[in-house]
Amino acid sequence: MSAHPLAPGLFARGFTPPLPLSRFKLVAFDMDSTLINIECIDEIADAAGRKAEVAAITEAAMRGEITDFKDSLRRRVALLKGVPEQALAEVYARKLQLNPGVDTFVRACQAAGLKTLLVSGGFTYFSDRVRNRLNLDFARSNVLEIEDGVLTGRLVDCPWGDIVDGAEKRRLVLEVCGLMGISPEQAIAVGDGANDLPMMSVAGLSVAYHAKPAVREQAMVSIETGGMDRLLEVLT
């Protein structure tokens, strides 16, 4: 089914907008390049002089050319071995910004009574701070192992598993819907990369934000220019 333009840089597929925001009860967001302007792992790699090498793997994974996200993430994290923990603080302070319109859209969702979920293949160092900054309800991401103030090049195993990949994003969205007693049709999922497609596939409204082609082609809404608050042109 082809998408139809609603306005310059804003496309819809499979429904007729506008939809009432009040029909939804949960919104799930990817973090890197969705809520925020960077891929955190690429910027951490910059401190190790390995940004080009790591970014190439990230880009291929987000385009869907690398199908094993867990393996691609382990490979990238291994290249961070020896990076000082201080580099994470510098990335957060100097490079990480919320994407345009994110604060406005999140506040609109909260005002309408939606619960908010950040689910990321990135790292808790950043997701915890973004969660607090936006006052989000839930967050899950990966934990970098740090010993004696430096990254070991490994991830910490957590009770829910080892890595947040596409399957885990989907599972968590469904789990939170279950905990809330709502249908997945009452969830919105917003992302930009291939590992967001599984959670987008179960949500009642899937949104591609400045996304890779494979994601734009499957999402119900695609924002290709402007900020995330453009979703409020679709949701009233």
| 137 is known as an active-site residue | no
What distance in Å separates the CA atoms of residue 76 and residue 50, rounded to the nearest whole number?
10
Strands (E), the chain: 4-7, 10-12, 26-29, 115-123, 138-142, 144-147, 150-155, 187-191, 205-209, 221-223
What distance in Å separates the CA atoms of residue 10 and residue 12, rounded to the nearest whole number?
7
With 0-12 CB in 10 A as exposed, 13-18 as middle and 19+ as buried, what is 16?
A: exposed
Show Cβ contacts of residue 214 under 8 Å, excluding neighbours closer than 6 positions.
63, 64, 194, 197
Cβ atoms of 53 and 42 closer than 8 Å: no
Cβ atoms of 178 and 119 closer than 8 Å: no
Considering only CA atoms, which of 149, 154, 144 is closest in space to residue 86?
149
What distance in Å separates the CA atoms of residue 181 and residue 131, rounded to the nearest whole number?
23
| 196 is known as an active-site residue | no
Helix, strand or coil for residue 7? strand
Considering only CA atoms, which of 39, 197, 50 is closest in space to residue 123?
39
Helix, strand or coil for residue 2? coil
Residues labelled as active-site residues: 30, 32
